[in-house]
Amino acid sequence: MTGRGEPPEGPPENPSGGEDEYRSLVFDESFVRAARLQEFSAQERMGEHARAVRSLPGRGTRRHRSRAGIALVVLIALAFATAVYIGFRNPYPTPVGRRAEPLRTTVIPLAPQGPVPGGTAESLLADGPAAAHRSGAAGINFPSVRRTKNFSDSQVTMALTTVKDYLVGSSLDPDVLTGGVVRPVARLLDPDQTAQFERSVDSPADDGKHSATGWLVRFDPAEVEVADPDIRVHGTFTYAEAGADTLEVVSDHTFTYALRPVVAGPHRADGASLFTVRRILHFLLDREDIRLHRLEVRSAYVQAGPQACSAETAGALRPLLAGEQADTRGPAGTDPYATGVPKAALCGTLAVSSPTQGPPRDPDAARSPRSRP
């Protein structure tokens, strides 16, 4: 087997194993002369690279490119004009800047014709006029939801949900009923009505605008307490468009409460009585209200009893409890010559409040004369 090749003229001057340790990296003169050199031509050195100088296009080519550039500019201009046109002709309706109007309230006390019947809360609710009504929020049911001309079925459902939340917060929340909190009601109101609501709660007045009992159901916690959390509810919803951007919802619900007086000692089991509140409320909701889960209360018509006609109901309802009866005084008089906002002077008669007696226990007593043997 042969080793490394040697130069044509023999081995180098320094023998193998000499003192020059870098001899393997040095080429002697005879090796360099014997090397074969080959120089590539310029064409071979360029290889497959593109030509450095290009020929100028002809006149027809320049005309074609100028037309393509003009067409591109025109196309961009048309696209920009189309975008501007679509921006001005937005297919979606623009929300109308509308301010909520002040709430108009009417609160009418209903006076009983005799002493208020009493009994246990369970028997009064089970045998009274609200026996067939459902309990709590389950009694606030939606109607059949269908889209309107300008509102989808989902928007209608959201509007009804907001109204239901308002009714639950203002009529069923135990803390609201006793006058402790107002947050469940205030958080659902349009901001334009916040100042009116706060004034109605802090400084109620029977002027048709600042009655707290127009916004919510409230009792004086120093006089009355809820005897049974089972509050019976019955009523209906209706809705319709009040404009292209506004939905009107009307709620008409009757709430029946079992109440008893606040006493220092133990309560009497049969010391409860029924109190009924009918609330007819008109709500307006625009698209922004529906999106933000809020509403505008346009008007409130409230009938509540048993109460005395002379009761001051602006700050809280004044129920007549078991065994009590209305005084002979009528509603507060109104002076037509007085200045300022006139006070409401309305009162009604409570036809049905609580059952005067329970159902007969003898099965034969419940039969008609014809059905008896």
Residue 372 reports pLDDT greater than 60: no
Task: Give the pLDDT score at 357.
Answer: 43
Task: Give the pLDDT score at 251.
Answer: 97
Give percent of the chain above pLDDT 90: 57
CA distances from 54 to 42, 51, 68, 362 (A): 18, 7, 22, 119
Task: Give the pLDDT score at 140.
Answer: 97
With 0-12 / 13-18 / 19 or more C-beta atoms within 10 angstroms meaning exposed / middle / buried, residue 26 is exposed
* Section 256-281 average pLDDT: 91
Least confident of 91-100, 107-116, 139-148, 213-222: 91-100
Task: Give the pLDDT score at 348.
Answer: 87
pTM above 0.85, yes or no: no
Least confident of 90-104, 202-216, 266-280: 90-104
Q: How would residue 195 be classed by pLDDT, with cut points 50, 70 and 90?
A: very high
pLDDT, tens digit (0-9, with 9 covering 90-100), for 207-249: 999 999 999 999 999 999 999 999 999 999 999 999 899 999 9
Q: How would residue 4 be classed by pLDDT, with cut points 50, 70 and 90?
A: low
Q: How would residue 361 be classed by pLDDT, with cut points 50, 70 and 90?
A: very low
Least confident of 8-17, 226-235, 348-357: 8-17
Task: Give the pLDDT score at 356.
Answer: 44
Task: Give the pLDDT score at 86.
Answer: 72
Does residue 179 or residue 40 have the better pLDDT?
179
Cα separation, 302 vs 347, in Å, equals 11
Residue 55 reports pLDDT greater than 70: no
Average pLDDT, the chain: 81
Cα separation, 149 vs 307, in Å, equals 44
Task: Give the pLDDT score at 354.
Answer: 54
208-220 in b/e form (b: 16+ CB < 10 A) is bebbbbbbbbbbe
The number of C-alpha atoms within 13 Å of 193 and in the hemisphere containing its C-beta is 26
Per DSSP, the residues of 105-170 read: EEEEEEEESSPPP-B-HHHHHHHSTTTTSEEGGGG---------SSS-HHHHHHHHHHHHHHHHHH
Cα dihedral: 312, 314, 316, 318 (round 10): 30
Task: Give the pLDDT score at 371.
Answer: 36
Which among 342, 339, 256, 359 is positioned nearest to 304, based on CA atoms? Answer: 256
* Section 84-108 average pLDDT: 73
* Section 111-130 average pLDDT: 94
pLDDT, tens digit (0-9, with 9 covering 90-100), for 157-185: 999 999 999 999 999 999 999 988 999 99
Cross-strand partners of 250: 238, 282
